[in-house]
Chains A and B, each alone.
Chain A
């Protein structure tokens, strides 16, 4: 980017700031994106190798051990029957919400700043859901029979029990995983075609892109069908997204347990999911911007600034829902709920409760209000990280810490994580590994969408003021 000069005109300043006003020839842009995929240093492969080893050990080997020996190698017990498995499931499903939020809601509301990072966010959705799936299957005592939960009958025509929130969960997560994968793939097709066109014959990448691009050329018909489909997806996937985390919350809210049996859990979980999801998006964007070639062009402080604003709003909403949940429970005066709230705050894991509030509310509010601070990639990366820590704490408080307290005080017992720590690290490593692999294989920047956006943006003078104008092209 150009150097800052005191006499730089306002127009130039705007172009510098906004990707949409800083157009570049399509061919050049394609080249930058292809370059970003193919410029791979030894550091990348080192990290990639380490993560592969970690995934092989922490996820697959340890899981194998757990399958063979039983869940006794984990820390789950009576009464904390669920433990970190469900914490991670909820956490990863939460992460997956950011992709949909950015690419669907912001698309519907035509928030133009979304354009360069919709794909990065959608990848998080799909990869996050894969980890959520791992986590929930790990949690099962007899995972080899997990197909019994699918809507297929046994030989006596006994189908799964649709009274069970877990059955709803299965339907919702399956729907969401399939939808978000399709929603990731559809806008990817033109970019895969682009990559196909720029990949020399005779390489395996050529075959890869050829197959995945499905023969897309960009004819009028193809674009029309694609645009129509994307519009339908953008609208339809929003309720699916809301339903997924609401249903996840119902796994808890439907139970006759103190602290869980709360009507506000649905929206509270959804907003929490967005909170952690947005935090994860800024982390990913900061890393992508910092480590991949040419990304400083596509991902600019303006994007962090815009996401930062969203994060602030979501953090406030989370605080609102949290307080709503808290005060109703507190005021109710139920004996067991009171014990539970006391346990949250003053129990041996009380530090986590306060940590959650600091990470989810205090720090975001303290930093994100300032435009300059929230535009600073490393700072907002830290905020995103802390929000994710805080949201993980929140789920940890909801699952194993709340499970400690029930209506039978004789059984109350602390939960000490066992092998599930490894498994959780395994899912995190697998998520990063998938992301790294994807960054080498598919264009992380939806080039055609950026081009489309740049086409629509222009500067216009109103009197002395130069302003950005966006035209409706679709």
Chain B
């Protein structure tokens, strides 16, 4: 990022922010160089942004499969490692196995979903980051990465579109 410059434009509402994004795209800022930071979830569609890629559902499925396999191991493999007869039941009865399979599948799925959020969002991340605390008060911020020469131009455009402030983003400890 040595040659790139980060700008943080703060808007008070969705509409000017959406306008600003459209304008920025016209100015040649690629969608990949923009990021919207908000205090409440604002969908991509509202801002006219491309859909975000997320791995969470895939990870969940993977976790479910892993959990199911663990369940299979517990229900069908472990009783054969040291066979013990109880109450005249088979060593690996199916109905109780269903319960084990279900619980382990769900556990695998939910843990991997949770872990998926961490992986996809690079959590936890305590390095300095571009941020202003007003965002959590309801402001919407657009973080733009652009070559330094374009910075002034973009700043002007954004101010004209109603940005409350546009400044060079400084990475700070949150």
Contacts and interface: CB of A to CB of B under 8 A. Distances in A.
B37 to A, nearest CB: 5
B39 A215 contact: no
Q: Which of B79, B110, B125 has the most chain A CB atoms inside 10 A of its CB?
A: B110
Contacts of A474: 41, 43
Interface residues of B, number: 63
A345 B3 CA distance: 83
Nearest to B86: A163
B82 A156 contact: yes
A411 to B, nearest CB: 21
Given A220-B52, A229-B113, A232-B57, A153 B78 contact: yes
A211 B124 CA distance: 8
Contacts of A473: 43
B131 to A, nearest CB: 5
Contacts of B122: 215
A88 interface: no
A175 B106 contact: yes
Interface residues of A, number: 64
Contacts, number: 197
Interface in A340-357: none
Interface string B30-63: 0000011111111110000100101111001000
Contact of A158 (B44, B82, B137): B82
A193 to B, nearest CB: 6
Given A168-B100, A171-B103, A243-B102, A227 B39 contact: no
B81 A163 contact: no
A236 B41 contact: no
A218 B39 contact: yes
A27 B100 CA distance: 47
Interface of B: 35-44, 49, 52, 54-57, 60, 74-75, 78-79, 81-82, 84, 86-87, 89, 93, 96-97, 99-100, 102-104, 106-107, 109-111, 113-114, 116-118, 120-127, 129, 131, 133, 135-138, 143, 173-174
24 contacts: A156-B82, A162-B74, A162-B79, A163-B87, A163-B93, A175-B107, A179-B107, A183-B110, A194-B39, A194-B136, A197-B174, A211-B126, A215-B122, A215-B126, A215-B174, A217-B131, A218-B135, A223-B41, A225-B54, A229-B117, A236-B60, A237-B110, A240-B110, A451-B39
